[in-house]
């Protein structure tokens, strides 16, 4: 019998598979398809201080082995998430859930995290620092080690639950950003968020996305994500959640060998809604194939072999 359980910043989860934020909503749609309690946990839709209607359409563009999105963090705002989404979620999901938080100022992040930290069903806070800093010319918090550390400290000062900082891959040295978050008190690191890309409509001779550029996800980004997880594992001592193009049980094991304690699946949920369930079901056989009897024992294994 293969032991799939892992300890994620002090909370044991049944397996390392986690649907990524923005690809699983607040769980309701997927709960109509299968029992989502088979998941380790899931990261719910990115939540901001105030409601957001998102970017104009079109927001999605296809590309080889992936997709581009520029949804724009559409969500009902933290107060409605707490008053409506979490009570509804509690009826269908009986495990701690990961709250994904976005913001456009340090005060935004602190306010939203402090509110969600008080919610019983929230087990972890996943803080997306790929957002533009409105007080610093629009530069993403996640591309500057100083800004990343400031957000981390602000969130940790108002929360007691484990905080995972979700990093942007659109940087030259992702390990330096991760180290700055660790030194500022982060309990873990999530990576990678989407890579910035674009497509152009040949007939219109204009960008397909109304936002011009968007985040690329899907299998094409997996090698980049794997490389960054490997680099960050070498640089920090806190746990890592790896993501980016994961679409099979083999990919989960590869991410864990690179250094991930848990693994998020994102874009795959949009094309194959049963993917997370099927990956979890496939994990025991794949583990046996590669002589793995305890998944937790392989974390970072590629650094030692």
CA distance 229 to 300: 10
Q: Are 240 and 261 in contact (CB under 8 A)?
A: yes
User: What torsion do the CA atoms of 110, 112, 117, 123 make, to the nearest 10 degrees?
Assistant: -110
Burial class from Cβ neighbours inside 10 Å (0-12, 13-18, 19+) for residue 172 reads: exposed
Q: Are 187 and 163 in contact (CB under 8 A)?
A: yes
Burial class from Cβ neighbours inside 10 Å (0-12, 13-18, 19+) for residue 157 reads: exposed
Neighbours of 225 (CB within 10 A): 26
Backbone angles phi, psi at 24, to 5 degrees: -135, 5
The active-site residue out of 113, 131, 181, 287 is 131
Whether 113 is catalytic is: no
Q: Which residues are catalytic?
A: 131
């Amino acid at each position: 019998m293969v032991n799939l359980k892992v300890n994620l910043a002090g909370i044991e989860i049944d397996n390392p598979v986690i649907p990524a934020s923005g690809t699983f909503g607040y769980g309701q749609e997927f709960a109509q398809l299968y029992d989502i309690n088979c998941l380790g946990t899931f990261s719910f839709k990115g939540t901001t201080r105030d409601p957001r209607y998102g970017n104009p359409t079109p927001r999605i563009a296809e590309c080889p082995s992936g997709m581009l999105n520029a949804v724009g963090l559409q969500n009902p705002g933290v107060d409605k998430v707490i008053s409506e989404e979490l009570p509804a979620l509690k009826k269908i999901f009986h495990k701690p859930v990961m709250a994904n938080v976005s913001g456009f100022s340090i005060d935004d992040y602190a306010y939203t995290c402090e509110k969600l930290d008080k919610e019983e069903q929230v087990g972890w806070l996943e803080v997306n620092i790929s957002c533009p800093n409105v007080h610093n010319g629009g530069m993403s918090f996640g591309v500057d080690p100083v800004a990343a550390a400031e957000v981390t400290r602000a969130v940790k000062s108002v929360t007691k639950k484990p905080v995972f900082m979700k990093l942007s891959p659109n940087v030259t040295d992702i390990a330096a950003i991760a180290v700055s978050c660790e030194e500022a008190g982060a309990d873990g690191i999530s990576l990678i968020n989407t890579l910035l890309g674009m497509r152009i409509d040949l007939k219109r001779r204009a960008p397909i996305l109304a936002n011009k550029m968007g985040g690329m996800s899907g299998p094409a980004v997996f090698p980049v994500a794997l490389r960054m997880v490997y680099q960050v594992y070498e640089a920090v001592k806190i746990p890592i959640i790896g993501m980016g193009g994961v679409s099979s049980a083999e990919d989960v094991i590869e991410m864990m060998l690179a250094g991930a304690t848990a693994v998020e699946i994102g874009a795959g949920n949009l094309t194959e809604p049963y993917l997370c369930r099927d990956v979890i079901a496939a994990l025991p056989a794949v583990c046996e194939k590669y002589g793995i009897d305890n998944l937790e024992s392989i974390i970072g294994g590629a650094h030692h072999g």
